[in-house]
Amino acid sequence: MKVAVTGADGFVGRHVVDALQRRGDEVITISRSTKVDDFRHAVLQADAIVHLAGANRPKEEREFSEVNRDLAVQMVEWLMSTDRRPPIVFSSSTQAEIDNAYGRSKREGEEVLEDYVDDHGGRATIFRFPNIFGKGSKPFYNTVVATFCHNVARGQTNQVSDPELEITFVY
């Protein structure tokens, strides 16, 4: 199977690409450095799309929507220009339920794919991931687990700002 993976060089993307390749799939990797024409070609030739690209710490708030919503819009528009309807797996976030720029942009990306399914005969699966951690997590960037482990390994203290706060994780 030919699978296009957006965000292929990101934390989750690297793991997904590795798993797909070990399974024997042909993987087309898409990252920030991919040219638009190559991105379009990958989407149009894929048997399935795993859409992991996302903005979680942009310099400007508008970048949330540009990446988390607009990439989904672009892919669906390209697919609508053909009769191809490959399934799309979309990496969303539990924060899609929260009214902030990140949460709204993730929910808007979900809505684009829901329309792709409801109005255009597409297939999509949306995963609302909680806080993800695992091999390759970066301390002080994408998970508190990596930060805590980093600090403990160096004999540094960890600070918990709200001990009543519960956080859900997935490995």
What digits encode the pLDDT tens for the residues 60-87? 999 999 999 999 999 999 999 999 999 9
Please state which architecture CATH assigns to domain 2-129.
3-Layer(aba) Sandwich (3.40)
pLDDT band at 38 (very low <50, low <70, confident <90, very high): very high
pLDDT at 11: 93
64 closest CA partner among 29, 95, 42: 95
Average pLDDT across the chain, whole number = 95
Cβ count within 10 A of residue 150? 15
pLDDT at 98: 93
pLDDT band at 21 (very low <50, low <70, confident <90, very high): very high
Cα radius of gyration (the chain): 17
Please give the Cα distance from 65 to 165 (Å, whole number). 28
Q: Which residues are annotated as catalytic?
A: 102
pLDDT at 39: 98
pLDDT at 58: 85
Residue 19 has pLDDT above 80, yes or no: yes
Residue 158 has pLDDT above 80, yes or no: yes
pLDDT at 67: 92
Report pLDDT digits (tens) over 99-124: 999 999 999 999 999 999 999 999 99
pLDDT at 141: 81
**AA letter at 167:** I
Pair of tokens at residue 49: 């799309």
pTM of the model: 0.91
Q: Is 41 helix (H, G, I), strand (E, B) or coil?
A: helix
Q: Where in the chain is the domain with CATH 3.40.50.720?
A: 2-129
pLDDT at 87: 98
E-only strand ranges, 10-154: 26-30, 48-51, 88-93, 124-129, 131-132
Report pLDDT digits (tens) over 84-96: 999 999 999 999 9
Q: Is the dihedral of CA 29, 134, 73, 1 positive or negative?
A: positive
- The bridge status of strand 88-93 relative to strand 131-132 is unpaired
